[in-house]
A and B are shown apart, each in its own frame.
Chain A
Amino acid sequence: MSLSGAWYLGLAALVFTIGAVGLLVRRNVLIMFMCIELMLNAANLTFVTFSRMLNDIGGQALVFFVLVVAAAEVVVGLGIVVTNYRRRATTVADDLDSLKG
């Protein structure tokens, strides 16, 4: 069978969805972060696929930036997790509910 970009896009959509489900379902903040990374990877895959399909390097440039920003985000996010752990000694997301109205 022919392998069109559709397969790549479908795979990326599936990974994205799995990542989204994981984010919603898991309670450990570190694992929630990893699910975010999954979603970002799915987006990167999509960009590269489209870059190939449209014959445009801009997609890959964007992936580059997504990578960098994801890295920065992880750095800051884990910093927040550490700080929070120092105060509350928990990595369970459900314990951070002081915004409850």
Chain B
Amino acid sequence: MVHLAYLMLLLPLAGFAVLVVGGRRLGDPLAGWVGTAAVGGAFVVACLVLVGLMQLPADHRVVVQQYFTWFSAGGLSVPVGTLVDPLSMTMCMFVTGVSALIHLYSIGYMKKDRDYSKFFIYLNLFVFSMLLLVLANNLLLTFVGWEGVGVCSYFLVAFWFERESAASAGKKAFIYNRIGDAGFLIAIFLIFEKTGTLQYESGPGGGIFGQLSHLGGGTATAVVLLLLFAATGKSAQIPLFNWLPDAMEGPTPVSALIHAATMVTAGVYLLCRMNPVLHLTAHGTEVIAIIGAATAFVAATIACAQQDIKKVLAFSTVSQIGYMVLAVGSGAYVAAIFLMVMHAFFKGLLFLGAGSVIHGLEDEQDLKRMGALRRYMKWTTVTFTVGFLAIAGIPPLSGFWAKGDVLDNVFAHSMVLYKVLWAIGLLTAVLTAYYMSRLEVLAFGGEPRFDKVGPQGQPALHEPHESPWVMRVPLVVLAFFAFFGGVLNLPWVHTHDLESWLAPVFSGTLYNNTLSDSSQWALAVTDIAAALIGVIVAYNLWRGAQVDKPALEPAFLQRVWYWDDFYDTIIGRPSQRIATFFAWVVDVRVIDGAVNGAAHLAKVGGTAARRLQTGYARNYALGIAIGLALLLAFMLSRTWWG
């Protein structure tokens, strides 16, 4: 049954094709059900493939299948094929599962939207691209999927493109992704140059992983840093993270699917997949860890000051992915994947819950205008609170186990650098608990503020209503997994858990965590303490009726550490000036001047030459005479000079 992997790719693609042809005719809500069925089918196939994979003995769980050759040019032959191993199947499971739930949610959320079927077209295409990215057996096909999710992200973020901010946000997301993709491409070139192949495990010489000796230290570091750069673009890390908050312009299911559960994890997946190469370079992994920790901290601080519910969650995503990147940089790949899966559950849940809130409050997203939603939207409140507790790291929910796993592995490193990074990670955990509690209290706690006129004069809102069942079912399912998901990789369980499942993929590269039991207990207690501090502080600060606290929300944090302004100054403005220069000086004066000048020259020359045409026969005869004289003179000169 492992050989059914191709169906996982075909089903969403078929859904895409069907909807492209007949989506508009199917209409609301049938188009949505078709899309959901396609992805749901993919999930079922994923389960079957997983079962088939589990039936193989533990050290033979790598199945490479080649379907056809995409192209073959010179020394490079790129096949289209799948690589089914524990890592790719783990990714497929939660990608298809969470995607199916979000498709179901979207049936309700996008109801009555003018472009209903178009939404599901893009969503199906996105799932196809993501699965292609995950299942590809060679770097170039991964890149195709990488680009595919980037482009679908653009389509979906700019879905309501008549709104200028949405169109700009779509462009911003795509462009930042593309900048990272340049790094990816160069890394591909380098790898091909050194190993002669782009396949991971198969192909000539045993693929990339069979020819690691060809990658010297310098090349390996360069490749790793370039892939890291690509990952910062896709997964929104420093320095290419500021597209993610803007991408919240898209509909909330998009934010949940792409910007919480799937696309943003693609960068982490790429680094995990290339773990043998990462293992070759200590400096590269250190840089990865530093970037991850720094991003986690910076994003957490920014999230503390945001007023839009989706922006808080967006920065929270950046921060959590920072944790994953930190884990990858510490060699704790399993912890990174564990957090990734758990994050998909609880962040997806939080976003869908936020969508439910927005839907219930008729598109109000400002936290300062919410309050006491617990009285009106019970299902949303309960599920959202589960998600909040998970991300804050309160045991026994999944987030505690996952975050703890990451921090333990970072701490276990002997180098001082990693201890510092651990401290940063712990501080970030406090901030995480703080801003999530702030969000919870402002939205669901306290007294209602939505029935009063807003600070900028917005009219009072009606009483919020709970969401329909199509939106509640995914919330409940995700809440279940967010609550109990930690069971996948409990620290004292060493068989049949995620670590042993993924170990063959990371054999030899996984950092050996030799923490004693007592240290692990101490670290666990520290984590709980950090979480509780954050929750209690936030609760005390924000539960009152006065929600306008500028001291706690400084402009520096609200403006994303002025990151956007910084890019604008060093890149945006100069580029505009250069473009203006080229448009108004080079294009108008030089290029147009040259073209017009040539025409002018022809005209002037013609006008001058026109004076020869006097119309008098005698002048023309004079011309003949002059010609004769010159000819004779020429012949004479030839006789004299031979």
Residues of A within 8 A of B (CB): 20, 23-24, 27, 32, 93-94, 96-101
Known: A99-B613, A101-B610. A20 touches B625 (CB 8 A): yes
Q: A96 — which chain B residues lie within 8 A by C-beta?
A: 615, 617
CB-based nearest A residue for B619: A24
Q: A24 — which chain B residues lie within 8 A by C-beta?
A: 618, 621-622, 625
- State how many angstroms separate the Cβ of A34 from the closest Cβ of chain B: 14
A94–B621 touching, CB < 8 Å: no
B618–A101 touching, CB < 8 Å: no
Q: B617 — which chain A residues lie within 8 A by C-beta?
A: 93, 96
CB-based nearest B residue for A101: B613
8 residue pairs, one from A and one from B, having the closest CB atoms: A100-B615, A101-B613, A97-B615, A99-B615, A101-B610, A93-B617, A24-B622, A24-B621
Interface presence of B616 (CB below 8 A): yes
CA distance A23 to B624 in the complex (A): 11
Q: A20-B625, A93-B616, A97-B616 are in contact. List 14 more A-B contacts (CB 8 A).
A: A24-B618, A24-B621, A24-B625, A32-B618, A93-B617, A93-B618, A94-B616, A94-B618, A96-B615, A99-B615, A100-B614, A100-B615, A101-B610, A101-B615
A27–B613 touching, CB < 8 Å: no
Please list 5 pairs of residues, one from A and one from B, whose beta carbons are closer than 8 Å in the complex, sorted by A's number: A23-B621, A24-B625, A96-B617, A97-B615, A100-B613
Q: B610 — which chain A residues lie within 8 A by C-beta?
A: 101
Q: A101 — which chain B residues lie within 8 A by C-beta?
A: 610, 613, 615
- State how many angstroms separate the Cβ of A32 from the closest Cβ of chain B: 8
CA distance A24 to B616 in the complex (A): 11
Residues of B within 8 A of A (CB): 610, 613-618, 621-622, 625
Q: B618 — which chain A residues lie within 8 A by C-beta?
A: 23-24, 27, 32, 93-94
- State how many angstroms separate the Cβ of B603 from the closest Cβ of chain A: 14
Q: A93 — which chain B residues lie within 8 A by C-beta?
A: 616-618
CB-based nearest B residue for A20: B625
Given B614, B621, B622, which contacts A97 in the complex, CB threshold below 8 Å?
B614
CA distance A27 to B617 in the complex (A): 10
CB-based nearest B residue for A23: B621
CA distance A94 to B614 in the complex (A): 10
Q: A20 — which chain B residues lie within 8 A by C-beta?
A: 625
CA distance A93 to B616 in the complex (A): 7
- State how many angstroms separate the Cβ of B613 from the closest Cβ of chain A: 3
CB-based nearest A residue for B606: A101
Q: B622 — which chain A residues lie within 8 A by C-beta?
A: 24
CA distance A99 to B613 in the complex (A): 8
CA distance A32 to B616 in the complex (A): 13
CA distance A97 to B616 in the complex (A): 5
CB-based nearest B residue for A21: B625
CA distance A43 to B535 in the complex (A): 121
Q: A100 — which chain B residues lie within 8 A by C-beta?
A: 613-616
CB-based nearest B residue for A93: B617
CA distance A23 to B622 in the complex (A): 9
- State how many angstroms separate the Cβ of B207 from the closest Cβ of chain A: 77
CA distance A97 to B614 in the complex (A): 7
CA distance A48 to B519 in the complex (A): 130
CB-based nearest A residue for B628: A20
CA distance A82 to B613 in the complex (A): 25
- State how many angstroms separate the Cβ of A79 from the closest Cβ of chain B: 17
Q: A98 — which chain B residues lie within 8 A by C-beta?
A: 615
Q: A99 — which chain B residues lie within 8 A by C-beta?
A: 613, 615
Q: A23 — which chain B residues lie within 8 A by C-beta?
A: 618, 621
CB-based nearest B residue for A98: B615
CA distance A100 to B618 in the complex (A): 13
Q: A32 — which chain B residues lie within 8 A by C-beta?
A: 618
CA distance A74 to B347 in the complex (A): 107
Q: B625 — which chain A residues lie within 8 A by C-beta?
A: 20, 24
- State how many angstroms separate the Cβ of B149 from the closest Cβ of chain A: 68
CA distance A32 to B615 in the complex (A): 17
CA distance A99 to B621 in the complex (A): 14
Q: B614 — which chain A residues lie within 8 A by C-beta?
A: 97, 100
CA distance A96 to B613 in the complex (A): 13
Q: B621 — which chain A residues lie within 8 A by C-beta?
A: 23-24
CA distance A94 to B610 in the complex (A): 18
CA distance A99 to B614 in the complex (A): 8
- State how many angstroms separate the Cβ of B343 from the closest Cβ of chain A: 83
Q: A97 — which chain B residues lie within 8 A by C-beta?
A: 614-616
CA distance A82 to B254 in the complex (A): 95
- State how many angstroms separate the Cβ of A28 from the closest Cβ of chain B: 11
CB-based nearest A residue for B614: A100
CA distance A96 to B614 in the complex (A): 11
Q: B615 — which chain A residues lie within 8 A by C-beta?
A: 96-101
CB-based nearest A residue for B613: A101
